[in-house]
């Protein structure tokens, strides 16, 4: 499969990311301390849903004596559209890798002051100086994971291994409201580059998805795991951690998550400060707080997404069941089948038009 130079470099950075547990450090980890002069301020965060530990924000509010306003979005494109209209007052946004590149190109992000983020040293080297933000000038990694298929083992009655198992399934399924990811699956099933800029290839992927959409009950806005859990569908396309959250919650063997054999998306979500942020110093403090080993571990242990915080891993703060699960921390063999979604401005309109048609003709 053809890959662009950017994707090759990006994937090379992630190959071999499966971390090994080391002995916990002898010294107890010191509690994070809030910088002075921030008390009484309000931080406004714009993040994905179900994507932070229950105590992360309350603890930050207490440590800094501040208030936090926390809003959620369901797709990169929805977040981008809102920021493009003019920042309504957010101090922190959480874009995915390719979206960071787009926002940098449109001057929508503020450069970071690394002096205010000493905990940046805790991040694994594999996640620093990435192709989408060389030198981490505008962003720092938050969580990472994959897109795959979550399914009800009992209802499906067979092991799911392929995207074709989803598209050809004789039963209700949900797709993910992630246009670039979904179209990329159509592209790879047609033998094309998942980041193709060829209008004809994008059209073929569009047609494949439309032709195989008769079993789609809903195109889910990042809540496919809930739809699966309550039994509305038997399979759903979802982000890895969302499926592992319901697996952990039920404590059962009813659900499974698979990265299809044809390949899928690997992604890194990042903390960034949008232009015109009202409280940039407080935003820097929150970024540093999230990169604290214990705070970062608490988030990953709650969300079931993979952590880029090497210090948290080295201190054995990450749940061992998560850390040893190749569906959360993929093996080198699986990583070879994964790809990043690339910023492709020349084809942006083709993708948007294709997705609009897919939504219309799939009946959603």
Report the range out of 4-13, 66-75, 326-335 with the highest average pLDDT: 66-75
Q: What is the pLDDT of residues 25-44, one digit of tens each?
A: 333 346 899 999 999 999 99
Least confident of 5-9, 182-186, 217-221: 5-9
Determine the average pLDDT of the residues in 90-109. Answer: 96
Determine the average pLDDT of the residues in 18-27. Answer: 36
pLDDT tier at 4, thresholds 50, 70, 90: very low
Determine the average pLDDT of the residues in 120-149. Answer: 95
Determine the average pLDDT of the residues in 95-118. Answer: 97
* Per-residue three-class SS string for the chain: CCCCHHHHHHHHHHCCCCCCCCCCCCCCCCCCCCCCCCCCCEEEEEEECCCCCCCHHHHHHHHHCCEEEEEEECCHHHHHHHHHCCCCCCCEECCEHHHHHHHHHCCCECCCCHHHCHHHHHECHHHCCECCEHHHCCEEEEEEEEEEEEEEHHHHCCCCCCHHHHHCCCCCEEEECCHHHHHHHHHHHCCCCCCCCCHHHHHHHHHHHHHCCCCEEEEECCCHHHHHHCCCCCEEEEEHHHHHHHHHHHCCCCEEEECCCCCEEEEEEEEECECCCCCHHHHHHHHHHHCCHHHHHHHHHHHCCECCEHHHHHCCCCCHHHHCCCCCCCCHHHHCCEECCCCCHHHHHHHHHHHHHHHHHCCC
pLDDT tier at 115, thresholds 50, 70, 90: very high
Domains of the chain, CATH where assigned: 5-144+268-330 (3.40.190.10), 145-266+337-361 (3.40.190.10)
pLDDT tier at 2, thresholds 50, 70, 90: very low
Q: Which residue has the higher pLDDT, 154 or 248?
A: 154
Residue 322 reports pLDDT greater than 50: yes
Residue 158 reports pLDDT greater than 80: yes
Q: What is the pLDDT of residues 250-289, one digit of tens each?
A: 888 999 999 999 999 999 999 999 999 999 999 999 999 9
pLDDT value, residue 364: 64
């Amino acid at each position: 499969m053809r890959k662009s130079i950017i994707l090759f470099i990006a994937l090379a950075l992630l190959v071999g990311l499966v971390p090994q547990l080391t002995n916990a450090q002898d010294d107890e980890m010191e509690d994070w301390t809030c910088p002075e002069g921030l008390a009484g301020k309000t931080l406004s965060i714009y993040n994905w849903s179900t994507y932070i530990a229950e105590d992360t924000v309350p603890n930050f509010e207490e440590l800094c004596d501040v208030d936090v306003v926390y809003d959620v979005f369901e797709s990169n494109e929805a977040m981008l559209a809102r920021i493009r209209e003019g920042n309504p007052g957010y101090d922190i946004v959480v874009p995915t890798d390719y979206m960071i590149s787009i926002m940098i190109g449109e001057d929508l992000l503020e450069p970071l002051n690394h002096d205010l983020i000493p905990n940046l040293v805790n991040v694994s080297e594999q996640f620093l100086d990435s192709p989408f933000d060389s030198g981490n000038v505008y962003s720092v990694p938050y969580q990472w994971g994959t897109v795959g298929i979550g399914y009800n083992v009992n209802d499906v009655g067979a092991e799911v291994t392929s995207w074709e198992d989803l598209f050809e399934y004789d039963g209700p399924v949900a797709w993910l409201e992630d246009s670039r990811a979904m179209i990329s699956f159509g592209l790879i099933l047609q033998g094309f580059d998942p980041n193709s800029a060829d209008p004809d290839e994008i059209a073929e992927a569009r047609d494949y998805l439309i032709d195989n959409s008769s079993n789609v009950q809903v195109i889910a806005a990042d809540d496919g795991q809930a739809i699966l859990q309550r039994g509305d569908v038997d399979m759903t396309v979802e982000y890895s951690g969302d499926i592992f959250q319901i697996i952990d919650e039920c404590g059962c063997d009813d659900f499974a998550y698979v990265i299809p054999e044809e390949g899928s998306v690997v992604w890194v979500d990042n903390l960034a400060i949008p232009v015109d942020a009202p409280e940039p110093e407080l935003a820097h403090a929150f970024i540093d707080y999230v990169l604290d080993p214990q705070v970062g571990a608490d988030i990953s242990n709650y969300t079931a997404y993979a952590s880029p915080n090497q210090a948290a891993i080295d201190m054995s703060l990450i749940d061992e069941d998560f850390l040893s699960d190749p569906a959360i921390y993929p093996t080198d063999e699986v990583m070879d089948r994964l790809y990043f979604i690339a910023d492709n401005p020349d084809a942006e309109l083709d993708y948007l038009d294709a997705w609009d048609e897919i939504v219309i003709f799939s009946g959603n």
